[in-house]
Amino acid sequence: MSEANRLTFKEMCAKFDVTPRTLRYYEYIELLSPDREGRSRYYGARERARMELIMRGRTFGFALEDIRQWLLIYENEGTQAQMQAWVELADGQLRELADKKKQLDEAMTELQRLRDTTAQALADKSAD
């Protein structure tokens, strides 16, 4: 891979807006495996693509271990198996997010009710 197509550790952190600690952790748990030259790390197209998938997965609320397992499926079983696993993971995550949304909606409704009751009580006291 040409030098121009690789990112340094610092460039990778900046591109994906992650801390060095985060990037090192992703390497530690084997989500990423950059090329090493001495103490320097270089990230090619494969690692950048994996990082994009990791970041997208985190945005959707997937656990890092789920993302790691999903990436391993591609390496071990290929695209079709990975796509099937993705559909199953996405279905589960959609259910979980729907449950969280329902809980959040209920909490917001209750908070709004309590806020309105308190504001009205405050207004009544001010009118006295």
Give 12-64 pLDDT, tens digit per residue: 999 999 999 999 999 999 999 999 999 999 999 999 999 999 999 999 999 99
Q: Both tokens of residue 74?
A: 């591609």
- Say what the pLDDT of residue 2 is: 52
CB 7 within 8 A of CB 15: yes
pTM: 0.78
Structural domains in the chain, CATH included, are 1-59 (1.10.1660.10), 63-128 (no CATH)
Give the strand pairing for 35-37 and 7-8.
Answer: unpaired
Q: What residues does 11 pair with on adjacent strands?
A: none
For 44-53, letters b (16+ CB in 10 Å) and e give eeebbebbeb
